[in-house]
Amino acid sequence: MPTSLTLDTARSNDGKLVLIAAGEIDLSNIDEFNQALTTATTEAVSSGGTFTVDLTAVEYLDSAAINALFVRADRIRLIAHPLLMSVLTISGLAELVTIEPAPPTAQH
Amino acid sequence: MLVVWIDLAEQRPSTLEDQTLLTVLAGRLGQRLQRVHQVDQQRETALALQHAILGPADLPRGFAVRYQAATRPLQVGGDWYDIVDLEDGRIALVVGDCVGHGLAAATVMGQVRSACRALLLENPSPGAALAGLDRFATRLPGAQCTTAVCAVLNPDTGELVYSSAGHPPPILVDADGTTRMLDDGHTIALGIRPDWSRPEAQVTMPARATLVLYTDGLVERRRSALEHGISRVAALVQHGRASALDDLANQIMSRLAPSGGYQDDVVLLLYRHPAPLELKFPADVSQLAPTRTALRSWLTRARVDANQTMNVLVAAGEAVANAIEHAHRHSAEGTISLGATALVDQVQLTITDTGSWKPPQRATDPYRGRGITLMRGLMQDVTINPGTAGTTVHLSARIT
């Protein structure tokens, strides 16, 4: 059974790029996630070089995913489900990246 | 074989009398040896038969049993226990007590235990099984007045249906120490009235609660009320509810033993809900998601809240990912096992692999260093034991 992950990009109202991930991120699909981050980094050049990674619908992520986010720490801001906050804080990512908690009603 | 060495006095030749004497001696010794051999065989036969009529030696996860026979050197008596996997995934638990102890009681017990097992497999209802045993015990000399408690447990939900035939009540001790005597569903002992109605009662075991079934040998003392003994068991379980189940069983057996040892047959059967999780899977990234799903559903059964569930999933996920990435980088056929046990106020996880980890090197491998940092940050206790045969990780998380 493969780990399910969907990745989409969209533009927010102010024209900024948003990478929307849904599902679970672990070693089995980390390459996919890395690839999406790389593509988004390139696409974001036109709009100031920064973009948002929306993890509202991500139910699980491990240190492989956190590592991928660390590498792009200067270019991203995050939206994450409150349940992921302790993982993002303990890893230290929250010190480098602005993390906005998703509304608590968000489906998880 | 027996060798006899005889030293004759110096220079004395061996005579005909010597030879006759030696022949007689050899004959006697041969007979004796054969008798010893026969006794050995009979003893082995007796032990095999005794173990066959006792309850199962291999228990499902989550159970602990202690059995002690009053009459030495017998290893069985009139008491019995049984744990039966039913076809619908539920588990039947039986603890009973035939009148008397020693060999006579044991022969009755073996028959009653088998009959009860067959009845439960036919109809997984405690009341129906005891009603069937009533008819059986009425016709079996020595089986009248047998007491028993029979319960059917749903290991997923903790739902327990039970019925008691004149047996002391099971005890249920919740994680917070609340103690309940399961004294509903109770009526007279077996084999007295063949068509007696057998009531059932139902209770749902909360997560991390401990269930205690026992026979009166554990609690009955001369010049002391049965209730006194029962509340002593309840107090011991309440006090030791944070202990591992096997330790708790040992504590109860030793703390309640009279100074001269138990004078009656004793059964003690413990179950803690939910039973520990045990997973074994190949060291491959495709196993990460199904392992997580199984652990998540077990944590739900153990009533671990959403935040703590996420922390345990991530910490365990890191340990499993480490095992897959490093321990099995060079061998395709590694196996990983993951075990999880719920105690009153914590969950304990053990992740074992068959390889050895690369030592974490922060500078060259920030990713792995980060994984271990996460484990340490999310769990109250993390120990990593690298060994030549494999690495074992223990994680312990306090739960509220």
Res B361: pLDDT: 46
Stronger pLDDT, B399 or A105, i.e. the higher one: B399
Residue B42, number of CB atoms within 10 A of its CB = 10
Q: How far is A44 from chain B (nearest CA, A)?
A: 26
- CA-to-CA separations, A58 to A16, A53, A55, B167, in angstroms, rounded: 21, 11, 5, 53
- Report DSSP letters for B381-396, one per residue: EEEEEE-SS-EEEEEE
Over residues A84-90, mean pLDDT: 94
End-to-end CA distance of chain A: 20
Res B368: pLDDT: 59
Q: Is residue B116 part of a domain?
A: yes
Is the domain of B256 the same as that of B289? no
Q: How many CB pairs under 8 A join A and B?
A: 78
CA distance B315 to B382: 9
Look at strands A99-101 and B210-214 and give their pairing.
unpaired
Which residues on chain A are in Cβ contact (under 8 Å) with B318?
62-63
A75 in Cβ contact with A51 (< 8 Å) = yes
Q: Is residue B10 part of a domain?
A: no
Res B362: pLDDT: 43
Over residues A89-101, mean pLDDT: 94
- CATH number for the domain spanning B175: value is 3.60.40.10
Q: Choosing among B279, B284, B285, which should be mutated to test the A contact, i.e. which has the most A CBs within 10 A?
A: B285
Tokens of B299: 């944590």
Is the domain of B318 the same as that of B213? no
Which residues on chain B are in Cβ contact (under 8 Å) with A73?
none
**B382 beta partners:** B395
Tokens of B293: 């799903």
Is the domain of B90 the same as that of B218? yes
Give A 39-78 residues with CB within 8 A of chain B. Answer: 60-64, 66-67, 70
Is the domain of B175 the same as that of B124? yes
Res B256: pLDDT: 95
Q: How far is A14 from chain B (nearest CA, A)?
A: 33
Q: How far is A52 from chain B (nearest CA, A)?
A: 22
Q: Is residue B12 part of a domain?
A: no
Residue ending a domain, choose from B251, B272, B293: B272
What is the DSSP code (8-state) at residue B55? -
Residue ending a domain, choose from B243, B272, B301: B272
The complex's ipTM? 0.90
Is the domain of B268 the same as that of B282? no
Is the domain of B182 the same as that of B259? yes
- CA-to-CA separations, B320 to B286, B287, B372, in angstroms, rounded: 12, 9, 11
Q: Is residue B333 part of a domain?
A: yes
CA distance B215 to B287: 45
- CATH number for the domain spanning B289: value is 3.30.565.10
Which residues on chain B are in Cβ contact (under 8 Å) with A91?
370, 373-374, 377
Helices (H), chain B: 16-53, 103-122, 126-139, 216-219, 226-239, 245-256, 288-301, 306-322, 366-378
Q: Is residue B58 part of a domain?
A: yes
- Helices then strands, counting H and E runs in chain B, come out as 9, 16
- Report DSSP letters for B273-319, one per residue: SSPPEEEEEES-GGGHHHHHHHHHHHHHHTT--HHHHHHHHHHHHHH
**Nearest CB to A84; choose among B288, B310, B373:** B310
Contact A91 B324 (CB under 8 A): no
Helices (H), B54-203: 103-122, 126-139
Is the domain of B233 the same as that of B304? no
Beginning with the edge strand found earlier in the chain, give each strand of the sheet holding A51-61 in spatial order. Answer: A5-11, A17-25, A51-61, A76-80, A99-101
Contact B289 A2 (CB under 8 A): yes
Is the domain of B70 the same as that of B166? yes
**Can you list the pairs that B17-20 forms with residues at least 24 positions away whose Cβ atoms lie under 8 Å?**
none
Is the domain of B289 the same as that of B221? no
| Local confidence pLDDT in tens for the 400 residues of chain B | 778 787 777 777 888 888 898 899 999 999 999 999 999 999 899 888 988 999 898 999 999 999 999 988 888 999 999 999 999 999 999 999 999 988 999 999 999 999 999 999 999 999 999 999 999 999 999 999 999 999 999 999 999 999 999 999 999 999 999 999 999 999 999 999 989 999 999 999 999 999 999 999 999 988 888 999 999 999 999 999 999 999 999 999 999 999 888 989 999 999 999 999 999 999 999 999 999 999 999 999 999 999 999 999 999 999 999 888 876 555 657 899 999 999 999 999 999 988 655 555 444 444 557 888 999 999 999 999 887 778 899 999 998 8
Q: Is residue B98 part of a domain?
A: yes
Res B331: pLDDT: 60
> Chain centroid to CA B259: how far?
26
Q: Choosing among A3, A63, A90, which should be mutated to test the B contact, i.e. which has the most B CBs within 10 A?
A: A63
- Cβ contacts of A66 within 8 Å, gap of 6 or more: A87, A88, A91, A93, B370, B374
**Nearest CB to B286; choose among A28, A86, A108:** A28
A65 in Cβ contact with B324 (< 8 Å) = no
- Cβ contacts of B249 within 8 Å, gap of 6 or more: B64, B65, B66, B268, B270
pTM of the predicted model as reported, rounded to 2 decimal places: 0.86
- CA-to-CA separations, B362 to A72, A86, B372, in angstroms, rounded: 19, 21, 10
Residue ending a domain, choose from B216, B242, B272: B272
Count CA within 13 A, CB hemisphere, residue B150.
31
Contact A60 B374 (CB under 8 A): no
Res B388: pLDDT: 76
**Nearest CB to B288; choose among A26, A63, A83:** A26
Is the domain of B248 the same as that of B390? no
| Among candidate residues B180, B112, B120, the one with its CA nearest the CA of residue B147 | B112
Stronger pLDDT, A6 or A46, i.e. the higher one: A6
Kind and range of the H or E run holding A66: helix A63-71
Res B332: pLDDT: 59
Q: Is residue B1 part of a domain?
A: no
CB-based contact (8 Å) between B5 and chain A?
no
Contact A91 B374 (CB under 8 A): yes
Number of domains comprising chain B: 2
Domain range for B327 is 277-398
CA distance B205 to B303: 12
Q: Is residue B39 part of a domain?
A: no
CA distance B183 to B378: 42
CB-based contact (8 Å) between A86 and chain B?
yes
Q: How far is B341 from chain A (nearest CA, A)?
A: 22
Is the domain of B268 the same as that of B281? no
Is the domain of B182 the same as that of B330? no
List pLDDT tens digits, range B77-126.
999 999 999 999 999 999 999 999 889 999 999 999 999 999 999 999 99
Which residues on chain B are in Cβ contact (under 8 Å) with A26?
285, 288-289, 292, 317, 321
Res B223: pLDDT: 83
Res B357: pLDDT: 56
pLDDT at A68 over 50: yes
- Report DSSP letters for B370-382, one per residue: HHHHHHHHHSSEE
Which residues on chain A are in Cβ contact (under 8 Å) with B368?
63
CB-based contact (8 Å) between A28 and chain B?
yes
Res B66: pLDDT: 97
pLDDT at A1 over 90: no
Beginning with the edge strand found earlier in the chain, give each strand of the sheet holding B381-386 in spatial order. Answer: B277-282, B335-342, B346-353, B391-398, B381-386
List pLDDT tens digits, range A21-34.
999 999 999 999 99
